Amino acid sequence: MSTETSIQIPRTAYEVERFTLPNGLRVVLSPDRSAPVIGVAVVYDVGIRSEPQGRTGFAHLFEHLMFQGSANLEKLAHFRHVQGAGGTFNGSTHLDYTDYFETVPSNALERMLFLEADRMRGPRLTEENLKNQIDVVKEEIRVNVLNRPYGGFPWLKLPPVMFDTFPNAHDGYGSFSDLEAATVPDAAEFFDKYYACGNATLSVSGDFDSAHARMLIERHFGDVPARPAPSRADFAEPDLTAERRESYVDKLAPLPAVASAWRVPDPITDFAGYLPYVVLAEVLTDGDASRLVERLVLKDRSVTSVGGYLGFMGEPFEVRDPTALLLQSHLPPGGSVDKVLVTIDEELDRLATDGLTAGELARTQARMATHLLRETDAVLGRALRMAVLELQRGNPGLLNDLPHQIAEVTEDQVRAAAAALRPNRRASIEVVPGGNQ
């Protein structure tokens, strides 16, 4: 039993106000007047797992099209209006959702609501914009995957080893041939099906008065036509019963690397069963005092770095089932992947059998609290997390509770989680270096 409570885990008290507009749009407000800035996030319940067969990369391509103009906004206007208000913007496509967001000085609140509402009514989908953004996305893929070592490792390379169905296994950045085959009618259909206001959440955090913000939200989003959310597909797959392991040659990579994944409990329906795995990943890999860094990096020198996290895109609280705990390692020249995997098994066994050392769990939980609080210090960090927590769980206030819920995970739970990471449930992908050899 670990009973150390050497440091108090603090609690945040961000206000959370939730309401739903008559058209079905769910809204979360979290006022905080401590700095004159606001974060605005609109999140749609569609992501990489929902894109159709033959259209790999389409969710991401469509995200780009949402910036290309709408009824009252010419192409380029969105960017100019945000930046011309002193703000920053972006969007990103994830496995289970797509987000659009701005951070701006608080005097631009109404303008941001106008911009988001206008594209929620519908983007301008033209052949010219589609062609242009296909080119831009191809350059993005070249920068992030094709022209660099370890591109797409492991987030694009491991899912096809672990999963068998198209939604879970396919390349979310997309093949160039699928991207080039995308049409304007495809985009219109995708918007109609998934970009319904009943399938979205809006979250605003920072420097505003709630009643005023609510009035502005009703003004701008109130007349977005009501369209219900599509029924969400079931992406479930059975757990692995036999180990899977594959490798590929990366022509640009000078050194070997390996990543492994094990399925974990459903993050939404079994949050209590899932949290111990979130803690386990940190016990194993957070800093020089973690189990695997100490063993693999400092003692054995069999890896040069090791990282562990939940979800293929590293977002433990923004992913649905099926998902995984991942461990990834970069190896020195000539390093043995077999040896690394065997050592990880040994360390998991040791953790499961012998438990944690005095203070080990409490200090890991304290550091996790710091990480979580840092992420939510930025207004946008709060707006995004609350928007997704509302979308996936109907519980944006979980943001305030997370550090304590993590601190309540027990040693027995962490040991049980470690015991579940058996080789026969493991999927691994190995990078064989092809560069500088």
Binders of other proteins among residues 259 to 318 (CB under 8 A) are: 286-289, 294, 297-298, 301, 304-305
CA atoms within 13 A on the CB side of 160: 11
The DSSP annotation for 27-92 comes to EEEEE-TTSSEEEEEEEES--GGGSPTT-TTHHHHHHHHTTS-BTTB-TTHHHHHHHTTT-EEEEE
Query: How near is the Cβ of 162 to other proteins at its closest, in Å?
Result: 25
- Does residue 226 interact with other proteins by CB under 8 A? no
Q: Which of residues 18-77 bind other proteins (CB under 8 A)?
A: 32, 34-37, 71-72, 75-76
Query: How near is the Cβ of 382 to other proteins at its closest, in Å?
Result: 10
- Does residue 359 interact with other proteins by CB under 8 A? yes
Query: How near is the Cβ of 5 to other proteins at its closest, in Å?
Result: 11
Query: How near is the Cβ of 237 to other proteins at its closest, in Å?
Result: 33
Query: How near is the Cβ of 423 to other proteins at its closest, in Å?
Result: 27
Q: Which is nearer to other proteins, 35 or 342 (CB)?
A: 35
Q: Residues binding other proteins: what is the number (CB under 8 A)?
A: 95
Rounded to whole angstroms, how far apart are CA atoms 231 and 310?
26
Residue choice 19, 20, 74, 135 for contact with other proteins (CB under 8 A) = 135
Contact window for other proteins (CB under 8 A) among 97-105, 308-316, 320-328, 411-419 = 97-105
Contact window for other proteins (CB under 8 A) among 107-115, 169-177, 314-322, 389-397 = 107-115
Nearest Cα neighbor of 21 from 179, 157, 201, 170 is: 201
Rounded to whole angstroms, how far apart are CA atoms 342 and 58?
39
- Does residue 3 interact with other proteins by CB under 8 A? no
Residue choice 180, 377, 401, 412 for contact with other proteins (CB under 8 A) = 377
Helices H / strands E in the chain, number of each: 16, 11
Residue choice 169, 352, 378, 416 for contact with other proteins (CB under 8 A) = 378
Residue choice 292, 362, 399, 427 for contact with other proteins (CB under 8 A) = 362
Query: How near is the Cβ of 369 to other proteins at its closest, in Å?
Result: 6
Query: How near is the Cβ of 168 to other proteins at its closest, in Å?
Result: 27
Query: How near is the Cβ of 239 to other proteins at its closest, in Å?
Result: 32
- Does residue 136 interact with other proteins by CB under 8 A? yes
Contact window for other proteins (CB under 8 A) among 54-62, 142-150, 339-347, 391-399 = 142-150
- The secondary structure element, H or E, covering residue 130 is helix 127-141
Rounded to whole angstroms, how far apart are CA atoms 140 and 431?
22
Rounded to whole angstroms, how far apart are CA atoms 226 and 139?
36
Rounded to whole angstroms, how far apart are CA atoms 1 and 414?
12
Pairs from 30-33 (Cβ < 8 Å, separation ≥ 24) = 30/203, 30/204, 30/205, 30/206, 30/382, 30/383, 30/386, 30/396, 31/205, 31/206, 31/207, 31/208, 31/209, 31/210, 31/213, 32/205, 32/206, 32/207, 32/379, 32/382, 33/207
Q: Which of residues 389-428 bind other proteins (CB under 8 A)?
A: none
* Per-residue contact string for residues 171-210; x = within reach of other proteins by CB under 8 A: ------------------------------------x---
Query: How near is the Cβ of 165 to other proteins at its closest, in Å?
Result: 30
Q: Which is nearer to other proteins, 95 or 362 (CB)?
A: 362
Return all residues near 417 (Cβ < 8 A) that are at least 6 apart: 264, 276, 277, 279, 280
Q: Which whole-number Å values give the CA distances from 279 to 73, 114, 272, 376, in the listed order?
A: 45, 40, 12, 19
Asked whether the bond before 230 is cis by omega within 30 degrees of 0, the reply is no
Residue choice 24, 91, 122, 152 for contact with other proteins (CB under 8 A) = 122
Contact window for other proteins (CB under 8 A) among 46-54, 130-138, 317-325, 343-351 = 130-138
Contact window for other proteins (CB under 8 A) among 153-161, 239-247, 360-368, 418-426 = 360-368
Q: What are phi and psi of 167, to 5 degrees?
A: -55, -40
- Does residue 225 interact with other proteins by CB under 8 A? yes
Query: How near is the Cβ of 225 to other proteins at its closest, in Å?
Result: 7
Counted residue by residue, the chain has a size of 437
Query: How near is the Cβ of 45 to other proteins at its closest, in Å?
Result: 23
Q: Which whole-number Å values give the CA distances from 349 to 287, 290, 325, 345, in the listed order?
A: 20, 15, 16, 6
Nearest Cα neighbor of 154 from 78, 87, 245 is: 245
Q: Which of residues 324-343 bind other proteins (CB under 8 A)?
A: 330, 332-333
